[in-house]
Structure 1
């Protein structure tokens, strides 16, 4: 039955042990008041997250503070386990867990690039995997495998499970990732394919915290452990509301858009990013961005004034009512020698076909990087 703390008159979820609260749906332990009344009648008190997991096989993201996650990583580093690190292929830099390589120890890592379903068919996946490996190496990670999946479309999940089985060798599996990478959707697909067990919730909290981890039993007695997502401060997703995020984050297969630009011309990607063609020959530039994100062209000399006048209105997102909290755009300049992609973390990329000088602008804290063209 539900457990009550008589000292504080608080209820605790019998699924994960977290303290029940009714005020903030985005925080741990949230339960609607009506559900509490029903839980008291049945003597079964679940937080909304555990209730949905128990009845619908749905797992919700739970965001942790940096200190909470640091404690979680320390715990993982002390175990002998396989680590599955889920990242967003459209926000690779923003979805890397800071310092992960320092905590995993000798535990092997499988890196999973999610949201492959929205990539244009012209992109060669081996090139993307190679780029992901190189970027991971730069961050100190040495994944034993890099896979591409679509949790939303249930693509490559069977292959992922086979790869996990290949490397875990009887050990537990920790699935880790920052928020907004699709980790929970991926876990839901894994649950459907890997186990028919109904009682999926087990209580296991780390010492000194209110963190919960959800354990999915495997056939040999080991468990696959879903860990709550950490908030990465440099994700594009954290600067936008849910409505705008649906416009910016690709939802369907990207349809490339090509622009013929003269030097000293600018493209605005809504009001959240900007591309300047500073020097070079007239050439084509192809944008691989969400299909609903509007692009506006103007002269470079007028770009600052154009942005100041139209951001939040003609240049959306961000919406006008979100401008007060939206960061300033920061400029990154690059000299291009070969066919390259200018990557806006969390948005997509623009392919530059000829040598020249270009600049990319993004909200302060969001990365803009150059890579060898993938297409």
Structure 2
């Protein structure tokens, strides 16, 4: 009977089914922990108290199984994207998962954007980019789950759209969904039930249900893994260094044709041809940027990758996939961003033609877009 009771219990932090038999498998918790009022698995305990994380086995089919069920519900879907990594955090194919349910698009981590940015322009930009990807959201909101910015407006908008329906929070890994859920729970007065958050992919392992006062529920879903994000290729230590934690301070480099910028050891920007112009770099503030001549770039990379050009660090540098070149022509049609998924972007003014090569690890998405800022 006790075992049956245990099998019905889920971790309050990540949603996984709890078990007491195998420490190596997801959901393990010591039997003594079952006596607590709020029970979390050992993995969530270590994330919460020691900032440690253990990888878990959850494949794409598991994620799709959870998302596929949303289309059969009558609900409001809140899709969370990371404003710092919009391209990498876009949940592809969302309309086919959600059916006719209304979608609220939420741009999280607004606190990381440069100080003087026009937020109305950012909202319009998000609306435009969503439309380009075939999504017509009911509304677009900007928030910071970490700082509590925009949460009141978000809750009001969810209330308007909900009309007695369930709410599903969806998004890829590391967009801040669980932090957002915790913020909402605090505002609802349910601070004793915190969802486990961490900067690592795959923290929420199953759908977490939060009952609402009208008998419906708020659901936190696992993050879908976008494997073209650079964060999935580095160690937790390096991921912390790549992930911004404070407002981005753009770095401006006046480049001549034939110059190169190394973004630590994770990417390389070659100004192949064009007039002298500024390259504005938006990456984590403490990420090392090295300027050199394009003619010397291969030699510099071979000699200093993993040391001067870090992260990645030493042994991890050998495990990174080989660099792949992506070539772009920037036409004089206004400001343009060259985006490296999970790392950041470089902005050019687009006042004169420029030919630029971007080198990034194989498998990392690299693209061009209308400038965010």
Partner residue, 2:369? 371
Structure 2 residue matching 1:90: 3-state secondary structure: helix
- 1:257–1:286 Cα contact (<8 Å) kept: yes
Per the TM alignment, residue 147 of structure 1 is displaced from its structure 2 partner at its CA by 1.3
- Cα deviation, 1:159-202, whole Å, max 9, x if unaligned, reads 1111111111110001112211111111100000024486799x
Distance of 1:212 and 1:310 partners within structure 2: 42
Change (3 A) 1:367 1:43: closer
- 1:195–1:218 Cα contact (<8 Å) kept: no
- 2:84–2:112 Cα contact (<8 Å) kept: no
Partner residue, 1:352? 348
Change (3 A) 1:47 1:280: same
Of 346-355 and 250-259, deviating more is 346-355
Distance of 2:113 and 2:235 partners within structure 1: 23
Superposition CA RMSD, Å: 2.8
The reply on whether 1:73 has 2:67 as its aligned counterpart is yes
- 1:271–1:311 Cα contact (<8 Å) kept: yes
The reply on whether 1:105 has 2:102 as its aligned counterpart is no
TM-score, normalising length: structure 1: 0.84
Change (3 A) 1:278 1:71: same
- 1:215–1:226 Cα contact (<8 Å) kept: yes
The reply on whether 1:48 has 2:46 as its aligned counterpart is no
Structure 1 residue runs of 5 or longer lacking an equivalent are: 6-10, 202-210
The one of 145, 154, 157 aligned to 1:151: 145
- Cα deviation, 1:288-312, whole Å, max 9, x if unaligned, reads 2111001001111221221122111
Structure 2 residue runs of 5 or longer lacking an equivalent are: 196-204
The one of 232, 253, 257 aligned to 1:259: 253
Partner residue, 1:187? 181
Partner residue, 1:85? 79
TM-score, normalising length: structure 2: 0.85
Distance of 2:304 and 2:164 partners within structure 1: 58
- 1:273–1:363 Cα contact (<8 Å) kept: yes
- 1:83–1:175 Cα contact (<8 Å) kept: yes
Per the TM alignment, residue 84 of structure 1 is displaced from its structure 2 partner at its CA by 0.6
The reply on whether 1:95 has 2:92 as its aligned counterpart is no
- 2:182–2:194 Cα contact (<8 Å) kept: no
Change (3 A) 1:360 1:309: same
Change (3 A) 1:126 1:200: closer
Per the TM alignment, residue 136 of structure 1 is displaced from its structure 2 partner at its CA by 2.2
Distance of 2:103 and 2:294 partners within structure 1: 45
The total of aligned residue pairs comes to 349
- 2:337–2:370 Cα contact (<8 Å) kept: yes
- 1:2–1:13 Cα contact (<8 Å) kept: no
Of 191-200 and 243-252, deviating more is 191-200
Q: How does 1:100-139 map to 2 (within 5 A)?
A: 100-139=94-133
Per the TM alignment, residue 357 of structure 1 is displaced from its structure 2 partner at its CA by 1.3
Of 13-22 and 142-151, deviating more is 13-22
Partner residue, 1:15? 10
